[in-house]
Amino acid sequence: MFVFACVAMDGCRRATPSEEAATGPIAVATQPVQLGSLQSTISGPGTIVPSTAADWTIFPPESGRIAELPKAEGDAVQAGDVLVKFDFANLESDLAARQVQVQAATGQLDAAKSDLTRISAMYDRGYVPRNDFEAARNAVSQAETELTRAKQLLDVAKAAAERAVIKARFSGVIAKRFHQEGDLVNGAISDPVLRVIDPTRTQVAMRVPVQQVPLILPGQRGTVLSATGPVGDPVSVVSRPTIDDPAASSVEVRLAFNNPSTLPVDSPVQVELLVDQRTNVMVLPTTAVLKADDGTSFVMTAGSDGRAHRRAVRLGLTTKDRVEILSGISVGDRLIVKGLEQVADGTPITISQ
């Protein structure tokens, strides 16, 4: 682009007719202003990764020891397969104790009910006083309460035992094994045990500069280029990226394939994401749009009077080599595209072919 500035006052004055005759008109090339289409894209490298729903890292729910780890790295898993069994302190003994309590409470309730049946029959015949009958009924009620409490404690123990056994949520493969059987684990998020992925459900992870995040919206479509050529299935933005770290220079954008991809996980790709598109608008080459000292934009047009004319314009969508013009010129105007550095407003021109 060119910046037009007046170095001295004489440089800004319009040439006199005698001076114009001496120098002659300036030869320029022009093109008509036409309507067209314009696309704005973001391009950059990406990586094939498991989709967020098909990428699961298993962490220990609490401190303990790994009792069983039946799958090795690369092994296939089916939904429901046991992946890890933990040995947590006093877990088995507590479960056994709760089971014994339920059995004992059940026996006490059975005995209390049997006693109530016997006393009820005798009470109906007038052989036992009412106090004995009420006491038998109270004993049944108390036994029922104790059994309910024992079952609740057993449910808690069972839930704890279930947390010690991790089963596969989906079919896939073991992508990474971080521990061995017998290892101690501390129950922290910094101490993973296994990573399970489904390699048939993948996405594209692409890093984009934080300045471009406002341009990215869910559903925007893109294309992927692998090492072997273009990938047939388009991709689309899964969700709008968020900037969690104010100091970050880039963020990750996830793009989903419209159809399952055959590219393996960790494959490098190139991504072109369409972020804006305009149709039936005035489009000019960026080299034809100039900047004035005050920052405004203008173009030079060829007038029917044989002179160049400066026209202030308002810009719209801008790409690397083309720009949308919102106002200032009209379709059919003759735009000067070559010889710009030699003309100013009012300069006599001749149009070269």
Residues 103 and 136 in one domain: yes
Q: Choose the weakest-confidence range: 19-23, 33-37, 45-49, 137-141.
A: 19-23
Whether residue 5 lies inside any domain: the answer is no
How many CB atoms sit inside 10 A of residue 161's CB? 16
**How, if at all, do strands 349-351 and 26-32 pair?**
parallel
Tell me the average pLDDT across 130-147: 93
Which CATH number does the domain housing residue 229 bear?
2.40.30.170
Which are the contacts of 18, defined by CB distance < 8 A and separation ≥ 6? Answer: none
Q: Are residues 60 and 181 in the same domain?
A: yes
Task: Summarize pLDDT for 200-255 with one digit per residue, the tens.
Answer: 999 999 999 999 899 899 999 999 998 887 776 789 999 888 888 888 899 999 99
- Average pLDDT of the segment spanning 289-317: 94
pLDDT band at 123 (very low <50, low <70, confident <90, very high): confident
CA distance 319 to 336: 20
Whole-model pTM over 0.75? no
End-of-domain residue from the set 135, 162, 189: 162
Claim to verify: residue 82 and residue 173 sit in the same structural domain = yes
Of residues 12 and 34, more confidence is placed in: 34
Give pLDDT tens digits for 202-217. 999 999 999 989 989 9
Residue 49 to residue 268: CA distance in whole angstroms: 10
Q: Which amino acid belongs to residue 259?
A: N
- Pair 82, 181 in one domain: yes
pLDDT category at 88 given cuts 50, 70, 90 is: confident
Side chain identity at 96, as an amino acid letter? A
Phi, psi (rounded to 5 degrees) for 17 = -55, -35
Structure confidence at residue 353 (pLDDT): 65
pLDDT given at position 96? 83
Looking at the chain, the whole-number percentage of residues with pLDDT higher than 70 is 93
Tell me: do 193 and 212 sit in the same domain. Answer: no
Q: Among 167, 175, 166, which residue's Cα sits nearest to residue 198?
A: 175
308 within 8 A of 334, measured Cβ to Cβ: no
Does residue 13 sit within a domain? Answer: no
In a 13 Å sphere around the CA of 332, the CA atoms on its Cβ side amount to: 1
Are residues 203 and 272 located together in one domain of the fold? yes
Residue 19 pLDDT class (50, 70, 90 cuts): very low
Q: What is the pLDDT of residues 158-168, one digit of tens each?
A: 877 778 899 99
**Which structure tokens are listed for 28?**
């320029």
Binning pLDDT at 50, 70 and 90, where does residue 125 land? confident
Out of 162, 179, 212, a domain closes at 162
Spatial distance between the Cα atoms of 253 and 240, rounded to a whole number of angstroms:
7
Token digits of residue 64: 């303990």
- Beta strands (DSSP E) in 88-191 are 165-167, 172-177, 184-185
Classify residue 75 by its DSSP letter: -
Residue 15 in domain: no
Q: Does residue 8 form part of some domain? A: no
Q: Which of 276, 305, 327 is the last residue of a domain?
A: 276
- The Cα–Cα gap between 222 and 236 comes to 6
Query: What count of Cα atoms within 13 Å lies in the side-chain half-sphere of residue 52?
Result: 8
Position 163 scores a pLDDT of: 80
- pLDDT at 148 > cutoff 70: yes
- Residue at 9 is within a domain: no
Residues 176 and 156 occupy one common structural domain: no
**Same-domain pairing of 134 and 185:** no
In-domain check, residue 2:
no
| pLDDT at site 154 | 87
Is the same domain home to 233 and 107?
no
- CATH code for position 75: 2.40.50.100
CB atoms within 10 A of CB 346: 15
| Mean predicted confidence (pLDDT) in 20-30 | 77
* Structural domain includes residue 175: yes
Side by side, the strands of the sheet bearing 55-58 are 55-58, 194-197, 172-177, 76-77
CATH classification of the domain holding 127: 1.10.287
Quote the mean pLDDT of the chain: 88
| Number of structural domains found in the chain | 4
Instruction: Kindly state whether residues 73 and 171 are assigned to the same domain.
Output: yes
Cα gap 290→299, rounded to integer Å: 6
Mean pLDDT of 83-97: 81
Q: Give whichever of 9-13, 82-86, 317-321 has the largest mean pLDDT.
A: 82-86
206 and 192 co-located in one domain: no
Range of the domain at 123: 91-162
CB atoms within 10 A of CB 190: 6
Same domain, 272 and 203: yes
Asked whether the predicted pLDDT for residue 50 surpasses 90, the reply is yes
User: Does a structural domain hold residue 258?
Assistant: yes
Integer-rounded Cα Rg, in Å, for the chain is: 40
